[in-house]
């Protein structure tokens, strides 16, 4: 009898040896895209809040294009869009050349939408100068990442900047928080609160440099990343005040170096097998610092004014006209709880089952913390407790938890991709290093 050729044609053929790894490579690229979009969306919301507050709009344009500008506006416009280009490049597959046109269009569209909205805000001004400088900032961020990538090609120093590293997620989320601190500070003394997030960022960068940049950590990596973070975060956060920016940057670098030394000693004592498990020790170190900042920010000024306790359902007390600084301080609390949600989720670890089992405890901590802060704010005559602000902080904490879940899913996709790629390369007898 002749063989059944039709049956043979229907039989599944063996897949090429790299089909499965390519499939998981695409899955990892997809999770990276989701995570990047979430972070970029968060940055976009914060920038829109800063540029559109106090959110009073008319039904028709209230003014035309403005030609007024200053050097401080130029610097702030550029720096506040640098993270957009940098994070955008982080979300692309490694080795992919920078798509300058997409970065340019993305920066111009985001800035253009904000400027169009400002046409309807009587307290704001619309300027093509802002669009140009914002777009230049996005391009500068993408160029900065490309420059670092070319300088350390083949080194893990670039990989440690990626969003897939949980600790680095804190570094990026702290930047817009610093911006809100600056815009909510009317006096020079309150600007010092920006040092709290700065110390947290310095400790994280020091840990990352010691535990994750292998095999020979370049000394300049810590200097460049710390100074770069300080410029982007502290210049707007301190409203250009050099008396805060310069000492703040030095302090952030000093904390990063101390944490780098401490992490290396811990690695030596624990052995090389545990060199990449420093998330929990770092979180235990920075959480008290962050809690101190959170308390000082919510209750500033710290001196009691003898006012009886009062509260409201709205953001501000009835009959009071909120200032721009008060609006920014309230929004700063919301942004601060985004990091509370992220750090709380990261503290519970990467295991999804364990994360779900500890979620009620995490929600309880967030609710209790925000409720205590609101009760204490009730004795502040210029603020008062706010039910709306309490609810917004819980939404922000939930969003921070979601950000960490997206980050964890991306890490799991990367691990699966690398494991399968290694097994397929071994089966094929390929001994050259696999690309990331």
Q: Could you tell me if 128 and 155 are in contact, meaning their C-beta atoms sit under 8 angstroms apart?
A: no
* pLDDT-derived band at 177, boundaries 50, 70, 90: very high
Average pLDDT over residues 316-339: 85
Give the Cα separation of 158 and 147 in Å (integer): 10
Going by C-alpha positions, the residue among 13, 75, 113, 373 that lies closest to residue 236 is 75
Q: Could you tell me if 365 and 1 are in contact, meaning their C-beta atoms sit under 8 angstroms apart?
A: no
Distance of CA 4 to the CA centre of its chain: 60
Give the per-residue pLDDT at 28. 66
* pLDDT-derived band at 186, boundaries 50, 70, 90: confident
Give the Cα separation of 32 and 93 in Å (integer): 8
Give the per-residue pLDDT at 229. 94
Residue 370 backbone zone (phi > 0: left; psi -120 to 50: alpha; other: beta)? alpha
Average pLDDT over residues 356-371: 80
227-to-177, 196, 223, 247, 264 alpha-carbon distances in Å: 17, 16, 6, 12, 21
Q: Is the pLDDT of residue 406 over 60?
A: yes
207-217 residue pLDDT tens: 988 887 765 55
Give the per-residue pLDDT at 67. 80
Domain ranges, ordered by start, for the chain = 16-53+152-428
Q: Is the pLDDT of residue 378 over 70?
A: yes
* pLDDT-derived band at 154, boundaries 50, 70, 90: very low
Least confident of 22-26, 47-51, 52-56, 357-361: 22-26
Exposure string for 290-319, b = 16+ CB within 10 A, e = fewer: beebbbebbbbeeeeeeeeeebbeebbbee
Q: Is the pLDDT of residue 339 over 90?
A: yes
234-258 residue pLDDT tens: 999 998 889 999 999 999 999 999 9
Q: Is the pLDDT of residue 16 over 60?
A: no
Backbone angles phi, psi at 212, to 5 degrees: -125, -15
Going by C-alpha positions, the residue among 296, 275, 274, 289 that lies closest to residue 201 is 289
Here the tokens at position 50 are: 């800063």
Give the per-residue pLDDT at 428. 64
Q: Is the pLDDT of residue 123 over 70?
A: yes
Distance of CA 122 to the CA centre of its chain: 31
Average pLDDT over residues 76-84: 94
Give the Cα separation of 126 and 118 in Å (integer): 6
Q: Could you tell me if 436 and 159 are in contact, meaning their C-beta atoms sit under 8 angstroms apart?
A: yes
Give the Cα separation of 418 and 434 in Å (integer): 9
For 115, other C-beta atoms within 10 Å of its C-beta total 21
* pLDDT-derived band at 274, boundaries 50, 70, 90: very low
Here the tokens at position 269 are: 């004592």
Give the per-residue pLDDT at 340. 94
SS3 386: strand
Q: Could you tell me if 212 and 160 are in contact, meaning their C-beta atoms sit under 8 angstroms apart?
A: yes
Helix (H) or strand (E) holding 107: helix 100-118
Distance of CA 376 to the CA centre of its chain: 28
**pTM of the predicted structure, to 2 decimals:** 0.85
Give the Cα separation of 289 and 199 in Å (integer): 8
Q: Is the pLDDT of residue 432 over 70?
A: no
**134-138, 145-149, 353-357, 426-430: range with highest mean pLDDT:** 134-138
Q: Is the dihedral of CA 296, 301, 306, 310 positive or negative?
A: negative
Q: Is residue 361 exposed (0-12), middle (13-18) or buried (19+ Cβ within 10 Å)?
A: exposed
Q: Is the pLDDT of residue 93 over 80?
A: no
Q: Could you tell me if 392 and 334 are in contact, meaning their C-beta atoms sit under 8 angstroms apart?
A: yes
Which stretches does DSSP call E strand in 347-403? 385-386
Q: What is the CA radius of gyration of the chain?
A: 24
Going by C-alpha positions, the residue among 310, 308, 292 that lies closest to residue 300 is 292
Give the per-residue pLDDT at 230. 95
Give the Cα separation of 86 and 328 in Å (integer): 25
Q: Is residue 265 exposed (0-12), middle (13-18) or buried (19+ Cβ within 10 Å)?
A: exposed
* pLDDT-derived band at 7, boundaries 50, 70, 90: very low
């Amino acid at each position: 009898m002749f063989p059944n050729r039709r049956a043979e044609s229907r039989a599944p053929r063996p897949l090429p040896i790299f089909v499965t790894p390519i499939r998981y490579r695409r899955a990892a690229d997809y999770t990276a895209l989701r995570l990047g979009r979430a972070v970029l969306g968060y940055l976009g919301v914060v920038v829109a809040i800063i540029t559109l507050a106090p959110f009073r709009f008319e039904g028709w344009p209230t003014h035309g294009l403005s030609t007024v500008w200053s050097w401080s506006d130029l610097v702030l416009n550029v720096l506040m869009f640098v993270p957009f280009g940098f994070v955008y490049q982080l979300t692309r597959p490694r080795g992919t050349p920078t798509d300058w046109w997409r970065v340019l269009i993305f920066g111009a569209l985001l800035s253009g939408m904000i400027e169009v909205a400002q046409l309807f805000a009587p307290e704001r001004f619309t300027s093509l100068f802002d669009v140009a400088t914002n777009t230049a900032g996005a391009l500068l961020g993408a160029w900065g990442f490309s420059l670092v990538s070319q300088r350390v090609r083949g080194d893990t120093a670039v990989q440690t900047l990626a969003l897939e590293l949980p600790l680095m997620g804190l570094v990026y989320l702290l930047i817009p928080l610093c911006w809100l601190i600056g815009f909510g500070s009317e006096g020079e003394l309150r600007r010092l609160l920006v040092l709290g997030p700065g110390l947290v960022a310095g400790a994280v960068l020091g840990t990352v440099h010691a535990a994750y940049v292998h095999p020979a950590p370049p000394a300049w990596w810590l200097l460049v990343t710390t100074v770069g973070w300080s410029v982007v975060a502290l210049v707007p956060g301190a409203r250009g005040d050099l008396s805060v920016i310069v000492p703040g940057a030095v302090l952030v670098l000093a904390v990063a170096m101390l944490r780098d030394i401490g992490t290396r000693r811990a690695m030596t004592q624990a052995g090389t097998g545990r060199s990449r498990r420093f998330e929990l020790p770092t979180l235990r170190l920075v959480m008290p610092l962050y809690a101190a900042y959170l308390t000082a920010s919510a209750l500033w000024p710290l001196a009691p004014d003898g006012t009886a306790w009062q509260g409201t359902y709205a953001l501000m007390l009835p009959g009071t006209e909120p200032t721009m600084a008060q609006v920014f301080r309230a929004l700063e609390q919301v942004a601060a709880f985004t990091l509370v949600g992220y750090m709380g989720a990261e503290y519970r670890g990467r295991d999804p089952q364990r994360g779900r089992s500890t979620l009620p405890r995490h929600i309880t901590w967030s609710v209790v913390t925000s409720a205590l802060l609101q009760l204490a704010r009730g004795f502040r005559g210029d603020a008062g407790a706010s039910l709306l602000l309490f609810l917004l902080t819980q939404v922000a904490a939930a969003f921070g938890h979601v950000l960490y879940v997206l980050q964890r899913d991306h890490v799991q996709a990367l691990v699966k991709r690398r494991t399968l790629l290694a097994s397929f390369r071994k089966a094929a007898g390929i001994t050259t290093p696999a690309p990331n």
